[in-house]
Amino acid sequence: MKILAIETSCDETGISIIDANGDFKDFSCEVIANELLSQASMHAEYGGVFPNLAKREHAKSLVPLLQSALANMPTEQIHLDDAQIEKIKEILEREPELFVQLVMLLSQNTKPNIDAIAVTYGPGLAPALWVGVNFARVLALAWNVPLVAVNHMEGHIFSAMLQSTTGANYKLSAVSFPAISLLISGGHTQLILAKDLHKYELLGQTRDDAVGEAFDKVARLLGLPYPGGPQISKLAQMARNENLSTPYTLPRPMIDTSDYDFSFSGLKTAVLTLTKKLGELSNTQKKQIAKEFEDATADVLLAKTTKALADTGAQTLILGGGVSANSHISNTIVSTLNNEFANVSLLTPTPELTGDNSLMIAVAAYFRLQGGEHAEVAQLEANANLTLY
């Protein structure tokens, strides 16, 4: 089954096409196209993602990315009837930035060899999600194929299971349920219990800032550009390589609480207070603060994750989201699993799949379709606060 998937929840525009087969235990897919365009450099001057700029950039990029994705796809001639055109117009009136490009594309009256359209409908930034959802609705209407709505967080879970086999082919790693998912990104910090395929329960989440957001804010305090996670990580790594001891102690918020919740805003405020006290920071001080901050985040993420593993007896740990690219956090988790949870297998995304991408959305959509799910084109709405449980 060929699925075309669209991801626009934050600051990456993604369009992928997969040809997928099998069920959860013997899944395989060939990646026919995987287009990804990051807007990160454009948001850098705001020190974070600016929702309306994100939307505008998605609107600009979607049609060109779609054209590249479809470049080698066989097409057939189609004819849009008046009812279809009317419905498409209605949707596109809400997306003036997409209108001209998409109308030009549709006026070719061709349909690629695609069996379904998948789109991320939440969680994320509302304006960014909407443009992707409306784009997907138009394609599903024009090509008369089913539309599948995908939860972005479920996408991150699938991204950790994806294993590349040969060439552009992937399969899924074996997962024994129940599994614990630690999803850490710029927008989320969640511990989720996956009881089975599509059966989730929220164990805990951040009560304020997401961990990636804290990395980004602390980076700003240290005068580092957005996205701050990789920058902080680089400085902290330098401190470790130089065996630089740190005279600063930052809090580990909520590390000893009996729940699975997190809090990162106090940690960020502690860095703010410290940097105010220190005034102009030397490079050494920046490295020391970066290392202590990274240690503090790794400590709390590890504490809550191991608590969840111990309490549930889960034998699979799934790590996902942009912050899972942090090697100190993942190394800390790996060594603790080796020492204390030898029977737990860890699934982490390959580096190109840690951040937002549409391949994970395509794969998540495949299993939703297999379960008989599809969205109503006339009714599908973006949901910025969509949950998985």
Name the site residues for ligand KG4 (rule: CB under 6 A).
10, 185-187, 212, 215-216, 227-230, 233, 321-323, 325-326, 355-356
Backbone angles phi, psi at 237, to 5 degrees: -65, -40
CB of 156 to Zn ion, least distance (A): 6
- In the sheet where 116-122 sits, what is the strand order? 147-151, 116-122, 2-7, 12-21, 28-38, 169-172, 162-164
CB of 276 to ligand KG4, least distance (A): 23
323 binds, among ligand KG4, Zn ion, none (CB under 5 to 8 A by kind): ligand KG4
51 binds, among ligand KG4, Zn ion, none (CB under 5 to 8 A by kind): none
Please state, in angstroms and rounded to a whole number, the distance separating the CA atoms of residues 343 and 314. Answer: 9
Residue number with CB closer to Zn ion (112 or 322): 322
- DSSP H helical ranges for 222-326: 228-241, 265-278, 283-312
Considering only residues 8, 39, 151, 185, which one is a binding residue for Zn ion as defined by CB under 5 A? Answer: 185
CB of 187 to ligand KG4, least distance (A): 4
Please state, in angstroms and rounded to a whole number, the distance separating the CA atoms of residues 45 and 158. Answer: 32
253 binds, among ligand KG4, Zn ion, none (CB under 5 to 8 A by kind): none
Residue number with CB closer to ligand KG4 (64 or 225): 225
CB of 334 to Zn ion, least distance (A): 22
Helix (H) or strand (E) holding 333: helix 327-340
Q: Using alpha carbons, select from 328, 293, 301 the residue that is nearest to residue 219.
A: 293
Residue number with CB closer to ligand KG4 (155 or 204): 155
CB of 272 to Zn ion, least distance (A): 26
Counting beta carbons within 10 angstroms of the beta carbon of residue 196, is it exposed (0 to 12), middle (13 to 18) or buried (19 or more)? exposed
Q: Using alpha carbons, select from 175, 161, 158 the residue that is nearest to residue 315.
A: 175
Residue number with CB closer to ligand KG4 (142 or 323): 323
Q: Which stretch binds Zn ion (CB under 5 A): 78-86, 269-277, 350-358, 371-379?
A: 350-358
Amino acid at 132: G
Residue with tokens 């495949």: 366
Residue number with CB closer to Zn ion (35 or 356): 356
**376: helix, strand or coil:** coil
194 binds, among Zn ion, ligand KG4, none (CB under 5 to 8 A by kind): none
Q: Using alpha carbons, select from 38, 37, 1, 40 the residue that is nearest to residue 118.
A: 1
CB of 233 to ligand KG4, least distance (A): 4
209 binds, among Zn ion, ligand KG4, none (CB under 5 to 8 A by kind): none
Please state, in angstroms and rounded to a whole number, the distance separating the CA atoms of residues 215 and 73. Answer: 41
Considering only residues 337, 356, 365, 388, which one is a binding residue for Zn ion as defined by CB under 5 A? Answer: 356
Contacts of 43 (CB under 8 A, 6+ apart): 11, 49, 50, 53, 54, 226
Residue number with CB closer to ligand KG4 (10 or 254): 10
CB of 358 to Zn ion, least distance (A): 11
CB of 122 to Zn ion, least distance (A): 11
CB of 110 to ligand KG4, least distance (A): 33
216 binds Zn ion (CB under 5 A): no
Residue number with CB closer to ligand KG4 (143 or 226): 226
Contacts of 224 (CB under 8 A, 6+ apart): 231, 232, 235
Residues 3-62 that bind Zn ion (CB under 5 A): none
Residue number with CB closer to ligand KG4 (102 or 159): 159
155 binds, among ligand KG4, Zn ion, none (CB under 5 to 8 A by kind): none
Say if CB 83 and CB 142 are below 8 A apart: no
297 binds, among ligand KG4, Zn ion, none (CB under 5 to 8 A by kind): none
Please state, in angstroms and rounded to a whole number, the distance separating the CA atoms of residues 133 and 147. Answer: 10
Summarize as ranges the residues that interact with Zn ion (CB under 5 A).
Answer: 185, 356
